[in-house]
Structure 1
């Protein structure tokens, strides 16, 4: 029996932290590729002039450049994963490369699987057609891009499925079971069908959203004039924050796209709990409750940090710097996933980077950012009612993210023994987690650490954590 490798613990004298399923270098390789492309796009007028290229001499800040950035960030991550980490050889891929089956032996099963895949994609397209929000604003770009990609996706699935089924240990996955259900010739597993539909619901919902926000963030970073920002703390902070969010979106988008078994990045399971879906979806359009005028809108008569700190340059630099650091932690939490980022799914366990400090660095940093950016207890109307309302509502928003974290932990504790080990380790040794867990236990009258990592057979037991993003997707 092989031993699980371990990684160094951040706390002196602590037992080793469970090893991460994703090496830190994967995300860093993707970040490096992305930065190279951003530099090329910003320098394109000079590059075009030097090479005498046709076309306008302007920066590449359009939607095509934003989409091409996915290639520059995704390709280094794929190459590192395959050539250095050799993830394709892991047993968790479900692949046995040593004994490929003859093509004729997998053809029938592959056709059943393709029927399931094509029907799934047709169902997602039908939902896109019905939902009016997909045909407004930035979502129109996403729909146009997916429409152009659809023929390639449908045709490309044929050689991919035939090739992969030859080496899969068990080729009858969720797509096959869904196809078998539709065709009606063979018995199928209903639970496998539900797993397949949940996984593709995640991809269908979040891919459209992520694609829709790709161009705006990328264009803002490429067009930013950093030479004029040095003397303006507000402009500098906003530009740096935009760059962090662009990195987050680009790396996350690659993760949503490359849910592939040869990369060991497949969706093992999508969250089976309704509470997990509700907690997540109310944070995203069109269901978002925190937007302008929404039930959880905490911006009524607020003026943001720049208004209240105006005229105090030292405070503006300090405050803006803290928010840049928080956004950097948020982006780092996404980069740490490499090819495996995705909401509402289990795709392995990430224990390095910011996940060595807290189980949920993205949720934690995001919520701290909102409190510092909004200062909800300060309002332009000087109304105590507005101040109290905004403060309480932002507290509820933070509570929503705590709820998300708990539902995600419940899913992962039930699904993965390694996550249970990581969860328990963080409760005892995580520099941030153990302090927040102690505070939580003190507030609710629990003994410190009670229930950490304890899971009843067949389901999740008591968990202790805090409201940020879970480390396994």
Structure 2
């Protein structure tokens, strides 16, 4: 791993502008408003359709488009990201280079084989065929044939402008077809990226309908009657933003948008730290009766503050603020959100205060919402156990953050500059770095011989 750079005088410029995420957020919220207002709209125009809010699964998928299209349009037409060298594209090449169809067909073979293998893995893994994951499987099944057809158009078109058409997919295809020139390291890189996409896309798509439905169908008049309901509904809205913008990030990994995955995390510790936080692994270690459970006999903040509307309002505002930071940390990525990947360097938004705003806000939210030290059983053992296990969860996220930093420090000089700048200037990162440097073991410096 490369050593962190000397801190630059100014915070390095972000590879993702704040505007990208904001236009995506605006598009998503506009669709939510339309979906909520649909009964009145249908009545106004006397449409012969059911007069219900559009809170269903299909409407949730349209919501993904409502977020993705403005971000893509802004990126191309305003910021012109397709012209950046980081895309690996040179749009002058089609006019002076003949297309190499042999390379394209090898790449398509690798790509289609990858999709077929992933489909097989979905079939083998039982958890994908029960509960919330059924929706993901249905969406991916319907998308399969259109993706194959579109790839016949997209891949040859993109290959014309690719500076190096023999990318990861080509190396995997060449390996399968026994063509010379493939590199095992490139094949491994190819599979890191696609396993990440397959695992997290299925999970994210599976939770989109619930997040969307909750907000579109909420009775705001009923919500406004109680301060805790206001807070909980806003929190749900923030989670909806996080889920839907995040899902777009996993799906839209396209070079012309400069949103492609440069690399997947090569560190085993990084994979363990990340995957332990998601189904199906999380089902086995967290929650009631599981190995790590910080909610045994807890009732949460609403229970303990019931009867005090002022305290409920203030505590609810704290939780809303923490969730707001969490959602901000996602939509600030625009089209580039995903776990375990390097897709450029983000230095603006909440990332100007700490390198890991989502993890900080999420872990503080759990302490404030669950209040693990307050238990309905009255048992100090439960309180101690809950608090201990939430500290364990906090430690997992700290470990996860460090593995992500190790990956990015090895990939990009700009991230090394950002890492160093934050260590000295970050509102949260700078004091935490000083504390960390004091408590961690320092390397011994061998004495220099006298001259």
Shorter-chain TM-score bucket reads over 0.9
> How much has 1:176 moved relative to structure 2?
0.2
> How much has 1:39 moved relative to structure 2?
0.5
What are the equivalent positions in structure 2 for 1:54-69 lying under 5 Å apart?
54-69=48-63
1:427 is aligned to 2:423 = yes
Q: What is the 5 A alignment of 1:201-212?
A: 201-212=195-206
1:344 aligned partner: 340
Q: C-alpha separation between the residues in 2 aligned to 1:347 and 1:262?
A: 13
Q: Distance in 2 between matches of 1:446 and 1:68?
A: 53
Aligned to 1:197, which of 185, 191, 198?
A: 191
CA distance in 2, matches of 1:177, 1:99: 22
Q: Does 1:20 pair with 2:14? A: yes
1:255 alignment partner, one of 243, 249, 254: 249
Question: CA 1:103/1:136 → structure 2, altered by over 3 Å: closer, same or farther?
Answer: farther
Structure 2 residue aligned with 1:359: 355
Q: What is the match of residue 215 of structure 2?
A: 221
Aligned-pair CA distance for 1:36: 0.5
Q: Determine if contact 1:138/1:212 at 8 Å carries over to the other structure.
A: yes
Q: Distance in 2 between matches of 1:337 and 1:402?
A: 21
How many Å separate the matches in 2 of 1:163 and 1:415? 28
1:102 and 1:117 mapped to 2: Cα distance?
27
- The residue correspondences of 1:52-91 to structure 2 (distance < 5 A) are 52-91=46-85
Secondary structure of the residue that 1:166 maps to in structure 2? helix
CA contact (8 A) 1:94 1:169 kept: yes
Paired position in structure 1 for 2:330: 334
**SS of the residue 2:281 aligns to:** coil
- What is the DSSP-based 3-state SS (H/G/I as helix, E as strand, rest coil) of the residue aligned with 2:94? coil
Partner Cα distance (1:252, 1:209) in 2: 11
The answer as to whether partners of 1:101 and 1:167 remain within 8 angstroms in 2 is no
Query: 1:281-313, CA deviations, whole angstroms, 9 ceiling, x for partnerless residues?
Result: 010000112233321221111111111111111
- Residue 17 of structure 1: SS of its match in structure 2? coil
Equivalent of 2:275 in 277, 281, 290: 281
Query: What is the alpha-carbon distance in structure 2 between the residues aligned to residue 170 and residue 265 of structure 1?
Result: 17
SS of residue paired to 1:175:
helix
Q: What is the Cα deviation at residue 227 of structure 1?
A: 2.0
Alignment size in residue pairs:
436
The residue number in structure 2 matching 1:121 is 115
In the superposition, the TM-score normalised over structure 1's length comes to: 0.90
Please identify which structure carries the higher helix content. Answer: 2
- Looking at structure 1, the residues matched to 418 and 294 of structure 2 have their Cα atoms a distance apart, in angstroms, of 35
Larger mean CA deviation between 127-136 and 98-107 belongs to 98-107
Is the contact between residue 102 and residue 166 of structure 1 (CA under 8 Å) also seen in structure 2?
no
Offset from partner CA, 1:142-197 (integer Å, 9 cap, x none): 10110000000111111100000011000000000000000002220111100000
One of 313, 318, 334 as aligned partner of 2:314? 318
Q: Which has the higher contact order (CA 8 A, sep 6+)?
A: 2
Partner of 1:36: 30
Q: Deviations over 1:45-86 (max 9, x none)?
A: 011111121211010000000000011100000011011111
Q: Retained in 1: the 8 A contact 2:99–2:159?
A: no
- The CA deviation at 1:324 is 0.5
How far did 1:102 drift?
A: 7.7
Deviation at 1:423, TM superposition (A): 0.1
Q: Is the 8 A contact 2:305 2:312 kept in 1?
A: yes
What SS class does the counterpart of residue 422 from structure 2 fall into?
A: helix
Report what 1:155 is aligned to: 149
Give deviations 1:191-240, integer Å, cap 9, x for gaps.
Answer: 11000000000000000000000000100000111222223111111100
Structure 1 unaligned spans of 5+: 1-8, 451-473
Q: Match for 1:268 among 231, 248, 262?
A: 262
Which position in structure 2 is the counterpart of 1:93?
A: 87
